Chains A and B, each alone.
Chain A
Amino acid sequence: MEKGLVIALVGMGGTLFTLWILTIIMDILKKIFPYREEEESGGNRKERS
């Protein structure tokens, strides 16, 4: 049970920590590449195969 408790705590903490890191990464991405109307409308891609 003790082992299980440690694993559960590591699991919860690890999941929360990793997703917190991801929120920071998302914020950074949004700051580096902000939405610009003209870029978004001009950037249509064609499929390559």
Chain B
Amino acid sequence: MGEIILSSISALTAGIGALTIQNAVMIAVGCLLLYLGIKKGYEPLLLVPIGFGAILVNIPLADLMGQEGLLRQFYNFGIANEVFPCLIFIGIGAMTDFTPLLENPRILLLGAAGQFGIFLTFLIAIALGFDLLEALSIGIIGACDGPTSIYVTSKYAPHLLGAVSVAAYSYMALVPLIQPPIMRILTTKREKLIRMEYPSHKSVSKRTKLLFPIVVTLACCLIAPMGTPLMGMLMLGNLMRESGVVARLTKASENEIANIVTLLLGLAIGGTMEGNTFLKPQTLLVLALGLVAICLDTVTGVLFGKLMCFLTKGKINPLIGAAGISAYPMAARVVQTEGRRYDTNNWLLMHAMGANTGGQIGSVMAAAIMLSVFKGMGLG
């Protein structure tokens, strides 16, 4: 009788006894992510499930990332095979209006310049001793694009997935804090005050908007076929939106599908944050490099904006270069706010939205090109 009681008590306390310091630290990290998501409102849709997933996976003996574990099932179901990021892209495409970009196509080039931080960080990561595949996964944080970061990292460096995802989503939420100081330093007062013209009448036809996703898919995927799943899904979502004939599918992509996938994706990413594998100096380095990537994106975007300002004889406000990243629509709002700090009647929002949607295409394109180059070199 006493033996049974003892063994029962021992079984009930086994979890507490097996708790390691690493587990405890990661549970605290999970709580911090929950705090940031719930209290501070930083990307709550992702940080809440990620934070809770991090807590769950660090409960000893529950083995949620074991072969039969629940989080492992979510991981295998949607991340290991890269399905979740692609499904999220359909939703993003369905939510994105490319009209501001189509009204001023040259702004798309800012979406390319806004990705240069990816490549510069890639080089820094190599210099710090990461291999090429890891370096790309770290650099891609600079895309400021969660699904793209997850897609590339799950393909090339799954052991960094937790750190990369947390960095991508956390920094995306911190764009309003990260970008303004860089924008202020890199632009003169005269440049900040530049007002950009708005077209006096609508200039984009329905047919153009309809053909845009098809043409972009063909052009981009023929150049960099490895990015077809990402670009294809993004543009499918946009085609559904613009066609107007599949409103139910569009609505489902924007809401139900995106919501369910976001929940499972967040939990599965949280599941990769197990103390023993996550708590390494390498993780801190990944987080630091992610921040560097986003800062460099802003620097290159604004500098390219200055170049365009010079070439157009002052018709482009260089501040909108900062919106050439994928964090939509935060980056565009930051530009608008910064512009109005110096001139309350300066309305840069629609131009910044154009650059921001260009950044979405640019981030996918940058990833697609790198994936194709790696494939061509036999690295992927």
Contact = CB atoms under 8 A, between A and B. Distances in A.
A10 B369 contact: yes
Contact of B365 (A5, A18, A29): A18
Given A4-B132, A10-B369, A35 B244 contact: no
Contacts of A25: 215-216, 219
Size band of the interface chain B makes with A: 35 or more
B118 A19 contact: no
Contacts of A35: 201-205, 208
Interface stretch (B4-12, B103-111, B274-282): B103-111
Main secondary structure, interface of A, reads helix
A43 B119 CA distance: 44
Contacts of A10: 369, 373
A43 B208 contact: no
Given A11-B370, A26-B102, A18 B224 contact: yes
Contact of A20 (B109, B244, B248, B374): B109
B65 interface: no
Interface string B357-372: 0100110011001100
B220 A18 contact: yes
Interface residues of A, number: 37
A8 B123 contact: yes
B119 A12 contact: yes
Contact of A30 (B108, B123, B204, B377): B204
A44 B245 CA distance: 10
Which of A5, A9, A10, A43 counts the most chain B CB atoms within 10 A? A10
B284 interface: no
A14 B224 contact: yes
A29 B211 contact: yes
A7 B373 contact: yes
A36 B166 CA distance: 46
Interface in B290-320: none
Nearest to B121: A8
Contacts of A7: 122, 132, 370, 373-374, 377
B135 interface: yes
Contact of B206 (A1, A11, A43, A49): A43
A30 B208 contact: yes
B205 A15 contact: no
9 contacts: A12-B115, A18-B220, A19-B111, A19-B361, A33-B205, A35-B205, A39-B205, A40-B205, A45-B244
Instruction: Give the top 5 A-B pairs by smallest Cβ distance, nearest first.
Output: A26-B105, A8-B119, A14-B369, A33-B207, A4-B126
Interface of A: 1, 3-5, 7-12, 14-16, 18-23, 25-27, 29-30, 33-36, 39-40, 43-49
